[in-house]
Chains A and B, each alone.
Chain A
Amino acid sequence: MHGFLLGLANGTSCLALCAPVLIPFLLSEGDNVHQNLVTLLKFLGGRLLGYLLFGLLAWAVGGLLLAAGGYQTLLIGGTYVGLSVLLLVAVFRKKRPTPGGCALSEAQTRFRRWPALIPLGMGLLAGLKVCPPLLLAFTDAASSGTLGGSLLLFVTFFLGTTLYFLPLPLLGAFTRMPDLRIVGRFAAVIVALYYLGSGILLFAGGVQL
């Protein structure tokens, strides 16, 4: 319950921080409301995976990582760069129809479907990048000592924050206008370049968040 309530309290913050990435991306994809819901679920799945991964890692190494403050800047810089690369790939990739009726090997077919993982990857990196539970996981896991308790906190926190993301697929109602899709693609590139630049500057130690 504690995690869920904390998620409700912080969810707007998560949405606000993910919005510059999500809104241009959803607009640029040009999908309808139903397809946007699928994309959002992948994104949220990636976020949850990110939280759980860190919850596990924090339980495993505990306070050691808390004390090593310098790694955080590198991690955030790295996730910024990764997020921007994924966003750029998502915008510039050509959307091909699902192959059917041709003699493609199973491996080739699976390879062609990789763009479907982009929202998952973005969610993973966004979850690592900016969401408050990152440090919460560390401190809780380091102090509680139980993996199950820490992961449960994260799952309930995730559910609390996710409620705020649910209206986003409605952007699909606007993507019938092709002009808006072009705006979304351009905006996604601009946001990606901003995060790329910020990530590089973080590595160089030149920018504050």
Chain B
Amino acid sequence: MAKLKSVLGYSVAALGIPIMIAAVLGIRLFLNPNAFISATGLEHSANWTGGEVVQTIEHGTYQTDVHRPVFDALIGEHKKGFVQVAWRPPEALPARIDEEIDADADGRADFRIELETATKQASLTPYSPNVIELQGVYDLGETLAIRVRLKNPRQ
């Protein structure tokens, strides 16, 4: 029994070498990370991505992407969150954007945003009591975006 345990012990220890080699090199040589991501459905938290675009408004030379309101939590939803609104392409945006946004797709505007695209200064006029404040204006490269803090109407 002692000999068997000893043999097993050394065998498992020796196995550590190919396992470590696989761990260090394998991801580059054997595993397709993108396939793994597709298979598992892993995606970034909407806190970073802003959530999916649920509404696109065409303005001729540019468009407005309204993302879904984000209240994501591990279980249930948070009481407060935000909605991201983005405009693109940045080079075709007018000097001033003045737009009313329906964040919750209920057919009524929830707030009005006035945005100076050159200086990235913006002011927010809330219409809905669920709108808290303007979080910020962000140059995301492909889009110019704002995030507006919201209260969760379901909470």
Contact = CB atoms under 8 A, between A and B. Distances in A.
B129 A208 contact: no
A67 interface: yes
Nearest to B77: A13
A12 interface: yes
Given A132-B155, A208-B135, A66 B129 contact: yes
A62 B129 CA distance: 16
Contacts of B74: 16
B129 A13 contact: no
Interface string A96-122: 000000000000000000000000000
Contacts of A5: none
A87 to B, nearest CB: 21
B129 A209 contact: no
B47 to A, nearest CB: 10
Interface in B37-80: 73-80
B132 A69 contact: yes
A135 interface: yes
A114 B149 CA distance: 41
A67 B75 contact: no
Nearest to A12: B75
B93 to A, nearest CB: 27
Contacts of A136: 155
A15 B75 CA distance: 9
Given A67-B129, A132-B155, A135-B155, A208 B149 contact: yes
Contacts of A12: 75-76
A209 B80 contact: yes
B76 A13 contact: yes
Contacts of A130: 79
Contacts of B78: 209
A32 interface: no
Interface in B100-155: 129, 132, 135, 149, 151, 155
B76 A135 contact: no
A16 B79 contact: no
B76 A10 contact: yes
Contacts of A66: 129
A186 to B, nearest CB: 23
B135 to A, nearest CB: 7
Interface string B77-96: 11110100000000000000
A16 B76 contact: yes
A132 B152 CA distance: 10
A97 to B, nearest CB: 40
Given A135-B151, A208-B149, 20 more contacts: A10-B76, A13-B76, A13-B77, A15-B75, A16-B73, A16-B75, A16-B76, A66-B129, A67-B129, A69-B129, A130-B79, A132-B76, A132-B79, A135-B79, A208-B80, A208-B82, A208-B135, A209-B78, A209-B79, A209-B80
Interface of A: 10, 12-13, 15-16, 66-67, 69, 130, 132, 135-136, 208-209
List the 5 closest A-B pairs by CB distance, nearest first. Answer: A13-B76, A16-B75, A132-B155, A12-B75, A209-B80
16 contacts: A10-B76, A13-B75, A13-B76, A13-B77, A16-B74, A16-B75, A16-B76, A66-B129, A67-B129, A69-B129, A130-B79, A132-B76, A135-B79, A208-B80, A209-B78, A209-B79
